Structure 1
Amino acid sequence: MAFYDVIGKTYAQTRRSDPRITKKLLEILASSPASTIADIGAGTGSYASVLAEHGYRVFAIEPSETMRSQAIAHPAIEWMDAYVENLPLSDQSVDAAIIMLAFHHFPDYRQALNEMHRVVGNGQMIFFTYDPEMISSFWLTEYFPSFIRDVESTFLPIPKLLEEIQSITDSVANVIPFPLPNDLSDSFAAVGWARPELYLDSDIRNGISSFSKIDDDELNSGLFRLSEDLERGWWDRKYGHLRQQSEYDVGYRFFHRSAV
């Protein structure tokens, strides 16, 4: 996971768990009995820590040493240096498995689903992901158009993900839209939907994988135009209504395969 060894150095500061996301995650988990959870692609452990604080035993699986080194130790969390394609867990050893905005980084998504299903058996499978069909309508792509190509090439379309889950697990997953709050504390790609100034902060951008893939010319041009549009009030004349909204459906989704 060399990619995240490079961009993940400040993840613990900018990619903190958001209470609204954790509330929804805990709500979904509570729909079926569960005590042990595999957090796959756990990053720095922000969501694993919340689960541990709520009484779950968590196996946090993360191949990036840079990410793992930023995690705060917790007696209910066992960290594992491993990739999703070969999870170091026995068959049906956990009650639930979660993937929080990491599924799109797995090169072999079918093997990832197979491994997830193997370790969870008939337990819960929960994904927090993004609908790539919505990226072109997000205003940020006007400044950084390569976001569209990156998102559409990395995130599995929602119907395709549903189809793959059903083919591997022989069960149907539920899709739950998750509108983002305007004060999101987990600074992933759409964190600034109502706070465009955030994208001018290099620390914020460094925690967003899509920004790391933009070439310097596009990045510098986009930042210059965004800064100018904010200074002159152009952004607010076009998108200022977003600042008045408490939440906005940018395209994030929870997928939930219930225990069967």
Structure 2
Amino acid sequence: MTLYDTIGKTYARTRNSDRRIATKLLEILPGLQGSTIADIGAGTGSYAIVLAEQGCQVIAVEPSQTMRSQAPTHFAIQWIDAYADNIPLPDQSVDAAIIMLAFHHFQNYQRSLQEICRITKNGQIVLFTFDPAFASQFWLTKYFPSFIKDVELTFLPILELKAEIQSVTNNVFNVLPFPLPHDLADSFAAVGWGRPELYLDRTIRDGISSFAKINSDELNTGLSQLQRDLETGVWDQQYGYLRQQDQYDAGYCFVYSSVA
């Protein structure tokens, strides 16, 4: 059983594709018409759908039945029940692979990278991920301090991630920071950077793995403090300027290869 078999039952309600993230993904992967793309750790298929609607054949690899059961059907998407470190596809069978906020869930990331490179022609890979160096700068960690440790344990530092990928492919890799828009539609961990009230919504929290990992005492204490700070205006005194910003660099980025 995967983590998301337990916590992912309402995932499709809050983890929708964001049009700005989708647009950037499509810019990084031009000329998609007719291509076969593997979506590794596809979740409920929110970005697989984006690619399918661009004329791609998508192979969505996802081990969680709970997640797969929430995915919308699309004739151009083939679902495979598998983990990233053991993908049942032939060598060089896809034109490119995407990993959208999923790499940190891979149990064996080195073996997973080898597998993804094995199935991908020219090793063309796009990851959307998070730089753990940014974790302590985010105001949410003041309320839930164990988030910092969780991020440090689960996300590879960006330079280390690049080095790991480079060890299995000869392609040139680029890092493209992606500041989050204020009205982010994909409700991952930093969705409420300028809308703190979102974190008081259990449905939002249920789609964020970090909330599932902290103990109940820290969760309840943090939520109570956040609610008090919002009611008394303390949060706005400290962080209210964020409400006026159109975007915020929370540390998310694309790491992608261009064919050498």
Would you call these one fold, judging by a TM-score over 0.5?
yes
For the 8 Å contact 1:32–1:259, the answer to whether it is kept is no
Tell me the equivalent position of 1:255.
Answer: 255
Deviations 1:16-61 (A, max 9, x none): 0000000000110007887110000000001001110111100000
Structure 1 residues 203 and 211: alpha-carbon distance in aligned structure 2, compared to 1, 3 A threshold: same
Tell me the equivalent position of 1:190.
Answer: 190
For the 8 Å contact 1:34–1:95, the answer to whether it is kept is no
Structure 1 residues 81 and 209: alpha-carbon distance in aligned structure 2, compared to 1, 3 A threshold: same
Letter in 2 for 1:232: T
Letter in 2 for 1:245: Q
> What is the CA-CA distance between 1:123 and the residue it aligns to?
4.2
Tell me the equivalent position of 2:24.
Answer: 24
Letter in 1 for 2:203: D
Name the % identity: 66
Matches of 1:171 and 1:82, distance apart in 2:
26
Tell me the equivalent position of 1:36.
Answer: 36
Tell me the equivalent position of 1:135.
Answer: 135
RMSD: 1.2
In structure 1, stretches of 5+ residues that fail to align are: none
Structure 1 residues 161 and 33: alpha-carbon distance in aligned structure 2, compared to 1, 3 A threshold: farther
Q: How many residues align?
A: 260
Matches within 5 A, 1:67-146: 67-146=67-146
> What is the CA-CA distance between 1:170 and the residue it aligns to?
2.0
Give TM-score scaled by structure 2 length: 0.98
For the 8 Å contact 1:127–1:254, the answer to whether it is kept is yes
Q: SS of the counterpart of 1:104?
A: helix
Q: SS of the counterpart of 2:148?
A: helix
For the 8 Å contact 2:171–2:259, the answer to whether it is kept is no
Question: Which consecutive segments of 4 or more residues in structure 1 shift more than 4 A?
Answer: 31-34
For the 8 Å contact 2:34–2:57, the answer to whether it is kept is no
Tell me the equivalent position of 2:221.
Answer: 221
Structure 1 residues 239 and 142: alpha-carbon distance in aligned structure 2, compared to 1, 3 A threshold: same
